[in-house]
Amino acid sequence: MPLALPPGLKAADHRDAPGVDGAGEGDITDVFAFLDPSNNGRLVLAMGVNPFAAPAASPTYRFSPDYLYQFKIDRSGSYKEDFVVQLRFENTPTGQQVFVSADSPDPNTVGAVNQLLVGATVALDGPVGSAFGDPANIQVFAGLRDDPFVFDLAQFNRILAGTQDVFRDIPSSPLGPLRGRPVRADGTSGVDAFGGFNCSYIVVEFPVAWLGVSKIINVWATVSAPSGESNGYSQFERMG
């Protein structure tokens, strides 16, 4: 079935307000949604947490066993989720285990306060650090990966401070010379502030057919903490 996604939007959010900065396991860095380049009949969703994870300290980064991680999809243009993929993590003596459920949520538990899916149509689990699932159904990966976001943060801060004008030096323009980083011999100029850092990524892939007849969808990811009610969670981080 054909799927028309809106034009790609590029954004990142690697540092947040103090309440989330203190909980890297719930600090969403990026969210991606795209068709599998090898099979346009499958949709890939990905979110990263644990920003600026140092590769040398890889064993110290984990997903929180207290949080509920969710991908939410609106297939009708209502801006309310009507299909969700929920992921929970547990610590075991051999590493973390991820539990995955996917289904349409109870319409009374959408928005910022959610319930765990009970008796979900899709339910599976597997180890963190390895891909698992059914290639014809849903596949899942959770674990550390190189941060894919690229941004010259230092130059951006100089532009904000007014000491530079643009990212790349422009000796001549209709506005006159514009100050920026010098262009190197290979044609590049920037410095990737995220180079060499990892994030903890959650990636799920499933058939586009699960989306029904929708040609345009809205996708966002959330992280929620227990609300105090049985199987209840309250959202504290979101990106779409």
pLDDT of 24-79, one tens digit each? 899 999 999 999 999 999 999 999 999 989 999 988 999 999 999 999 999 998 99
φ/ψ bin of 174: left (φ > 0), alpha (ψ from -120 to 50), beta (otherwise): alpha
The pTM score is 0.87
Instruction: Please give the Cα distance from 106 to 110 (Å, whole number).
Output: 7
Give me the pLDDT at residue 4, please.
47
Domain extent, residue 176, equals 152-191
Does residue 125 sit in the same domain as residue 224? yes
Q: Give CA 97 to chain center in angstroms.
A: 19
Instruction: Please give the Cα distance from 133 to 63 (Å, whole number).
Output: 19
Residue 63 lies in a domain: yes
Does residue 44 sit in the same domain as residue 96? yes
Number of domains in the chain: 2
Does residue 37 sit in the same domain as residue 75? yes
- Expressed in percent and rounded to 5, the helix, strand and coil fractions of the chain are 10, 40, 50
* Confidence at 8, pLDDT banded by 50, 70, 90: very low
Does residue 167 sit in the same domain as residue 61? no
Does residue 81 sit in the same domain as residue 160? no
Residue 170 lies in a domain: yes
Highest mean pLDDT among 1-5, 50-54, 92-96: 92-96
Does residue 177 sit in the same domain as residue 123? no
